[in-house]
Amino acid sequence: MTLTPEAFAQDAAPLIRQTNDQSALFSPICRHGCAFDPAIFKKVMLNLIQNPNLLSNWLFRADLIAEHEGCDDEVVLEGVPESEGLRPVIPQIDGFQRGRVIVRRLIPRNAKRDRPLLQTCIFYNDTSVLADAAPQKTLVVYLPHIATVEEIPFYHPKVRGLGYLHEWNPAESKGTVSIHYRFLSDEDRIARPVKLERTALMMISVIHKHGEGKRTGYVKRVHHDQLVPQATVQDCYHDLKDRYARDLLGSWRENTDPGKHVFEDLSIAAFLIELWREMYKDQPFPGFVDIGCGNGLLTYLLNKEGYKGWGFDARARKSWDIYNDVVVDADGKKSSTLQERVLLPSIVAMPATEESDKECVDNERFQDGRFPKGTFIVSNHADELTPWTPILGAISDCPWISIPCCSHNLTGAKFRAAPPKDKSKGGSAYASLTEWVADIAADCGWVVEREMLRIPSTRNAALVGRKRTQPVESVDIDEIILKYGGTQGYFENAMKLVKTGPRSH
């Protein structure tokens, strides 16, 4: 539905009146009708406070640094750094009683351009309600910790305060949501800058969308930050981006979009680094193998950050000239961090008859799918190797992560998995592939953990296997492979990769 908010006239009387500062005027900007009640409005506003990125693409997140219920200014702001801006006086509003108060730090996506900003967010409840059927109001006010306009970062409206007013008529089950600004100057209040008008329309649109979603029973299917805290990964990503992005973008060798691939792999690297930091905090990192490593950038980044491992793919890429490195193990043996190999699991029959085929196998052109116990297997958009990932993990007793992309079965052929029986998981080709791989993993005895990665890709589902439901020895891998279609034709498809190389994404 297209929203058509009603704009208030410039001389409209304020609907929010501050008793402890009569000169502090909140000017009404626009409003729109709604069918969601005060309880839903409060939930929506709390979610927006916790996730400011829903209102601005320039923001990563908010760190909540103080939270109190119905207390005075001194208690609310106790421990809030004065060095980060002028601490505002929490307003008293006519007809309202102050309730929950939250102080948050807004974290921008580009820390080099914009600084973080402290902001106090206050919930107010209507004190004039005398009966359940009487009209009622709910107010939420945002106050940035600023003294001058120069202190306001790009991502924040150039105002001293924002008000979100929900007015509800329970007898008619309908109400309105309105946006109010406390302008920095009388000139702005009179002129009403167009950018601020547009910002108000955007905010009311987001509030309406989320309110109606909750009212109609929308259930969120995508859940982020299940395995590693959002702030931890984003801070790591910021650090990696600052140190690597410029050089990586400038030296890109592939024909693919450097922006997409560089920032995507930086994001995945940040997630893996923080996942591993927690997993191996009390023990040495066991190493990793990146199966189907493609351009090799992810392998390169992880090695640069001290997480030693290697990757392989069916053919070398142009980028390997930059990203490949030579490592020396404890026995003095040298090896490359990026190697040209084709996966041929040892449990797959090899009906090779041509001498050239046998020569490839004899010359270790193939990788047998067995790795030292505990090696972390990384499968990032690995195509033909995606369904094999949890199986390889079970064979070698290795934890793993799989980020599915294109759909192939266990023979390496293109394939579309049947839609999952659980309709809540979606029926798209990608959702079906992800659930199919998760089913293979569960049958292999893995506890399947899930994460929706914050990466610039719609194919961002990650499956992680690091805990088991049963010992590796009790799993019949041959039976599982037969259950999921078998491997007839795998060797022939692998030989095609040896001779022609894989497709380039």
Q: Is residue 249 domain-resident?
A: no
Q: Beta strand pairing status for 25-34 and 174-183?
A: antiparallel
Q: Is residue 231 domain-resident?
A: no
Amino acid at 23: S
Structural domain total, the chain:
2
Under 8 Å between Cβ of 303 and 325 = yes
Amino acid at 361: V
One domain, residues 209 and 291: no
Q: Beta strand pairing status for 366-367 and 342-343?
A: parallel
One domain, residues 295 and 198: no
Which structural domain range is residue 463 located in? 283-500
One domain, residues 161 and 291: no
Q: Beta strand pairing status for 309-313 and 338-340?
A: parallel
One domain, residues 293 and 439: yes
How many Cβ atoms are within 10 Å of 426's Cβ, its own excluded? 16
- How far is Cα 255 from Cα 376, in angstroms, rounded to an integer? 30
Last residue of a domain, one of 163, 196, 215: 215
One domain, residues 319 and 404: yes
- How far is Cα 459 from Cα 409, in angstroms, rounded to an integer? 18
One domain, residues 48 and 169: yes
One domain, residues 210 and 298: no
- Please compute Rg for the chain using Cα positions: 28
Q: Is residue 233 domain-resident?
A: no
- How far is Cα 392 from Cα 371, in angstroms, rounded to an integer? 8
Q: Is residue 391 domain-resident?
A: yes
One domain, residues 326 and 205: no
Under 8 Å between Cβ of 310 and 339 = yes
- pLDDT tens digits, the chain, 505 residues: what are they? 568 899 999 889 999 998 877 777 899 999 999 999 999 999 999 999 999 999 999 999 999 988 888 655 555 666 677 777 788 888 999 999 999 999 999 999 887 788 999 999 999 999 876 656 678 999 999 999 998 889 999 999 999 999 999 999 998 999 999 999 999 988 888 888 999 999 999 999 999 999 999 999 877 666 778 999 999 999 999 999 999 999 999 999 998 889 889 999 999 999 999 999 999 999 999 999 999 999 999 999 999 999 999 999 999 999 999 999 987 766 677 889 999 999 999 888 666 555 555 555 555 678 999 999 999 999 999 999 999 999 999 999 999 999 999 999 999 999 999 998 887 777 899 999 999 999 999 999 999 999 999 998 889 999 999 999 999 999 999 999 999 999 998 888 887 777 665 554 4
Last residue of a domain, one of 192, 215, 238: 215
Last residue of a domain, one of 184, 215, 246: 215
Q: Is residue 62 domain-resident?
A: yes
One domain, residues 454 and 319: yes
Q: Is residue 270 domain-resident?
A: no
Under 8 Å between Cβ of 122 and 141 = yes
CATH number of the domain to which 335 belongs: 3.40.50
One domain, residues 100 and 183: yes
Q: Is residue 356 domain-resident?
A: yes
Q: How far is CA 252 from CA 58, 255, 304, 313, 505, in A?
A: 26, 8, 17, 19, 15
One domain, residues 192 and 308: no
One domain, residues 196 and 331: no
CATH number of the domain to which 91 belongs: 3.30.530
Quote the pTM value: 0.80
Q: Is residue 153 domain-resident?
A: yes
Q: Is 112 exposed, middle or buried (0-12, 13-18, 19+ CB in 10 A)?
A: exposed
Structure tokens at 350: 């090899």
